[in-house]
Structure 1
Amino acid sequence: MLAKYFSEPIDRAALSLIGVLSAAIAVVGVGHYTCQDNNQCIFANRPRVQDFSWDGAHLGAKDRAFIITFDRPMDQREVEKNLVITPALPGKISWAGRRMAYTLENPIPYGTDYDLQITDVREQYAGEHHGQMMAPFTSSFRSRDRAFAYIGTQGIEQGRIIFYNLTKQRKTILTPPGLTVVDFKFYEGGKAILFAAAESQLGFEGLRQLQLYQVPVVESDNPQELPKPTLVLDNQEFQNNQFDVSEDGKSIVVQRVNRQNPADFDLWMLKNQQKPERLKVQGGDFQIAPDNQSLAVARGEGIGILPLQPEAKPLDFLPKFGQLLTFSSDGSAAALVNFNTEDAQKRFQRTLFFVNTLGVQKELVDTDGSIVSCEFGRNNQTLYCLLTKLLPGDEYIEQPYFVQINVNSGEVFPLLKLQDYRDTQMSLSPDGLALLFDQVIIDPETPANSRLNTDTGEAIADSQLWLLIPPLRPELGQQAELKALSLMGFRPLWAP
């Protein structure tokens, strides 16, 4: 009968196409729906994770949140219950449709491998029936290796920047033997180091002949594979002193003095590796703020906050503070020192203050010695500080000690006392879990024009590096842990 109606070739082709399409539709239908014994039919193509922003990532302290995107709306309670990160990373969850954001409570601990898995969760299903079970999802990511740099004091390492990967126990000498490094800073997320150095044979005179160089951070056991430093700023017309570099690496600020006219001193800026230009800002110690756009400068009896541009008008001025120690990581707070020049009762004391952008100025610690340095810990709610106090007696002797300060409560927890104070430098790890510090050994018989010298001109014979692990809950009586490192050097600085 059908042959009668579809006798033409085009009719037979149409009939064949209808058959093929019908079969395809049937296959698709079977593939997407499964009917159970109770006559309930659900989608058979299982839900899945479409994207995980940290999949295979190498993370640092600034990486504080990841996003998981599902291919359809999911049962959010089940996802939150069955999301497992190993080792644990406490955090908070928020949702926006098919996207789930997980924000860490603290910076990610360094030197650790992590696994993430989501199992036994269903899609969100409108109606009386349960949604389809999601395909199990697993992924892994890693935090950066624990690593730091310092200036070596022994043998071929003397006066050179040493990069030490603490996680892998690997040491790399980054600078050549002909230069003696005085100071250095990481930038560009730890990919490079900016350093001030002079020719080694100049000795103490090298402090007046400093030039700025940069070198990439490359780990290698073969010195031939290491890149050579490149000159950033010479010393032909001006003496280069203190310097700082913005976190994004785009701005460098240097205090410079005219060699022909010492009264001509100013802050200069190098922007995007262009020629240096005067900021026409005079003052003492300075720091580039975390926003990469402003500069804090000690100016007389106060700290000025200025835009990072020539002849800029101040954005703010903090009149009662004489020293800025550090900014919080987000720039919303700072630790400052009041020298109490106008307070007769505290005339011989210095006071540490916590100051934030909301106008809070909170007094934390008084000392009759020095407030050497401070750094903000996790979530900017903790300060780790190196202080000194005067010892009784006719001779002026300062004893250094480390403290941990709860900014909210004002509680001060002693961590460690040192026997001697000579240019001790401290550095807090980016995850806030470890303090590095040095103890310089002075040789009074070594001439002051030796290759390595302190800021006061004393010859450095050697220096020991130490690792201090602060307690996570000092209010519960937990004690700090001290470890001696088999590394001889000074000015240690953690890599970001």
Structure 2
Amino acid sequence: MFKRATQNLDRAALTLILVLALAIGFLLIKGDRVSARVRDFTWQERQIGAADTAFILNFSRPMEQASVEENLHIDPPLPGKFSWAGRRMAYTLESPIPYGQSFELTLDGARDRFSQPDEARSQIQPFTGTFQSRDRAFVYLGVEGDEAGRLVLLNLTRQEQKILTPENLVVMDFKPYPESDRILFSAVEKTDEPQRSLVDQQLYTVTTGIHIHPPEEIIGAAEAEPELEAAPQSAGIVELVLDNSEYQNLKFDLSPNGRTIVVQRVNKQNPSDFGLWQLQIGEPAQAIETEPGGDFLIAPDSQSLAMSQGQGMAILPLESGADPLDFLPRYGVILNFAKDGTAAAMVRFNRNPENPTRSLFLITNQGTEKELLEIDGSFLDAQFDPNKRNLYCLLTRRIPGDVYLEQPFLTAIHLDSGEVVDLLQLPIQQDIQMNLSPDGLAILFDQAISDPEGSAEGAIRGRDGKVISSSKLWILPIVENDDGVPLQAQPQEVGVAGLRPRWMP
């Protein structure tokens, strides 16, 4: 009797185990019948810049990838490519996001991987996300009235204009920080002695009042602890970065990551003490021990720089006494790097006494050296578009005649085909600068008006020493054909008087 009862109990236990196993298996296959949902969107309520190339959607369960890709919509559209890693979907933009716009992302009708199409709960819970690009804004050097010699921020998106620097400082040069919250600039005290500019300029920063809420970093975003954001600061707060008590400060550059400043300096008492100095955040300036050189530019990796030395261009690490990483013996000037550091635009001087010319070369990190253009004038600037399809150049060509004059042009070079397009012939002038917007959709340039008799206190002067009485700012929209070759377009006057405009990153 006892044995039979035990057998019945065993059979009941086995039956229960079997039922539970089937139930567990059913749940594993069918899920808990709660609809899939988006757990996280890395661009939600964030401000997106040109350096932000991709966002991620994290889902609560594995998804039917094709259904997600078919049902995800962005308004206005942002062309891009999908990629997957488990429950994470990445969307990489084909081009930088256009500045000054708001966007909405919607996903409805997508299914999870293990559900049947006819199941009521197979579809994802509808999701809507919003984000915006950074404001379209730029900073310029004022030349008239209260703005003369001061940095001015013009926000085109919000139609706001702010004078940033105090009236007692005359700004000489400036570079915005990557988060647009500050501007690094060199300046001198306002005076009626024009020759003091090179001797007495000091380095400062000024706040812009811009506070950006950037997206999360994609790599390691899930594991990394969130960084504490700095408290917003009002515009116009000036701090001294580097004085001129012992050294004369000349050219400077700001690293792309905003953490390093390199300055060319000369000892006031010992002119042979000449070279580069490095400033890191929270540390005193330190000399970089290297061979003497000329013009320089910090590389996109923020760990090295290119500097003209002797009869060529040296690539140097930002370390004292370190050996050069590379040396390019044929080039005398570096104009710019591509944002990702894979290419650079350099100038070779063709030393023919009867016909001296200059050639612009495309140099890649794979060792390719391609001549793009030869001219009898000068290459003043060159900037790669974000996709490295085109190189936009500010150059001059010699005007035939007994008097030596150079005619400036804004010119585009399509890098794949080598096609050269003169976008705009500019007025003849010594001081002219251009700047390509971070989204690659427009070029800013100035048109200075000199006053040979001018001698006002604190007046802005050009490279020829003449007083600049006024200057117009222009925006040239970028228009391309179906092959990506830039086309001529009509420039638009901004309506403010300024010099040396630079887009905010």
TM-score (norm 2): 0.86
Structure-1 residue corresponding to 2:145 = 155
- Per mean C-alpha deviation after superposition, the further-off stretch among 142-151 and 448-457 is 448-457
- For residue 418 of structure 1, what is the amino acid of its counterpart? L
- In structure 2, C-alpha distance between the alignment counterparts of 1:462 and 1:78, rounded to whole Å: 58
- Where 1:167 maps in the other structure, the secondary structure is coil
2:430 corresponds to which residue?
422
Match of 2:124 among 131, 134, 141: 134
- Contact 1:465/1:490, CA 8 A, preserved across alignment: yes
Taking only aligned residues, the RMSD between alpha carbons, in angstroms, comes to 2.3
Equivalent runs, 1:63-462 vs 2, <5 Å: 63-125=52-114, 132-204=122-194, 205-218=196-209, 226-281=235-290, 282-341=292-351, 347-447=355-455, 451-462=459-470
CA contact (8 A) 2:447 2:473 kept: yes
- Does the 8 Å CA contact 2:116/2:122 hold for their aligned counterparts? no
* Compared CA separation, residues 264 and 148, structure 1 to 2 (3 A): same
Cα distance in 1 between the residues matched to 2:210 and 2:143: 20
Question: Contact 2:264–2:274 (CA<8 Å) still a contact in 1?
Answer: yes
1:228 deviates by 2.8
Name which one, 1 or 2, has greater alpha-carbon Rg.
1
1:357–1:42 Cα change, 3 Å: closer
In 1, distance between residues paired with 2:478 and 2:283? 42
SS of the equivalent of 1:481 reads coil
Aligned positions of 1:456-495 closer than 5 A: 456-473=464-481, 478-495=487-504
Distance in 1 (CA, whole Å) between partners of 2:108 and 2:282 is: 50
Contact map agreement 2:208 2:234 (CA 8 A) in 1 = no
Tell me how far 1:227 sits from its aligned partner: 4.2
**1:200–1:448: structure 2 CA closer, same or farther, 3 Å change rule?**
closer
Contact 1:448 1:458 in 2 (8 A): no
Question: Which range moves more in the overlay, 188-197 or 52-61?
Answer: 188-197
Counterpart Cα distance in 2 of 1:127 and 1:57 = 35
User: What displacement does 1:103 show?
Assistant: 0.3
**Residues 151 and 453 from structure 1, CA distance in 2 versus in 1: closer, same or farther, beyond 3 angstroms?**
same
SS of structure 1 residue aligned to 2:350: coil
1:129 is displaced (CA, Å) by 6.5
State whether residues 52 and 69 of structure 1, in contact with CA within 8 Å, keep that contact through their aligned partners in structure 2. yes
- Partner SS for 1:156: helix
Residue 160 and residue 449 in structure 1: after superposition, are their counterparts in 2 closer, same or farther (change >3 A)? closer
Note if contact 2:165-2:236 (Cα within 8 Å) is conserved in structure 1: no
Q: What is the distance in 1 between the residues matched to 2:276 and 2:63?
A: 56
Alpha carbons 2:253, 2:297 under 8 Å: kept: yes
Higher mean displacement: 325-334 or 263-272: 263-272
Q: Structure 1 counterpart of 2:302, which letter?
A: N
Residue type of the partner of 2:172? V
- Give the whole-Å Cα distance in 2 for the aligned partners of 1:67 and 1:225: 33
Q: Distance in 2 between matches of 1:457 and 1:317?
A: 35
- Kindly tell me the number of residue pairs found equivalent between the two proteins: 455
| 8 Å CA contact 1:200, 1:206 repeated in 2 | no
Partner of 1:123, secondary structure, is: coil
Question: Is the CA contact 1:404–1:415 (under 8 Å) kept in the aligned structure 2?
Answer: yes
CA contact (8 A) 1:404 1:413 kept: yes
User: Deviation of residue 378 (structure 1)?
Assistant: 2.4
CA shift for structure 1 position 275: 1.5
Secondary structure (helix, strand or coil) at the match of 1:206 reads: helix
CA offsets per residue over residues 384-436 of structure 1, 9 Å max, x none?
11111111111111111111111111111121111212210001100011100
Unaligned runs of 5+ in 2: 1-22, 212-232
CA drift of 1:182 comes to: 0.3
1:138-189 per-position Cα deviation (integer Å, ceiling 9, x unaligned): 1110000001101000111000000111111111111000000000011242
Contact 2:115 2:122 in 1 (8 A): no
Q: 1:288 to 1:72 in 2, by over 3 A?
A: same
| SS of structure 1 residue aligned to 2:322 | coil
Which secondary structure does the structure 2 equivalent of 1:201 belong to? coil
Measure, in 1, the Cα distance between the counterparts of 2:193 and 2:106.
58
Distance apart, 1:371 and its partner CA = 0.6
CA distance in 1, matches of 2:260, 2:374: 35
Tell me if the contact between 2:191 and 2:457 (Cα under 8 Å) persists in the aligned partners: no
Deviations along 1:198-222, whole A, 9 cap, x unmatched? 00115422232100011121169xx
Asked whether the 8 Å contact 1:470–1:481 carries over to 2, the reply is no
Amino acid at match of 2:394: L
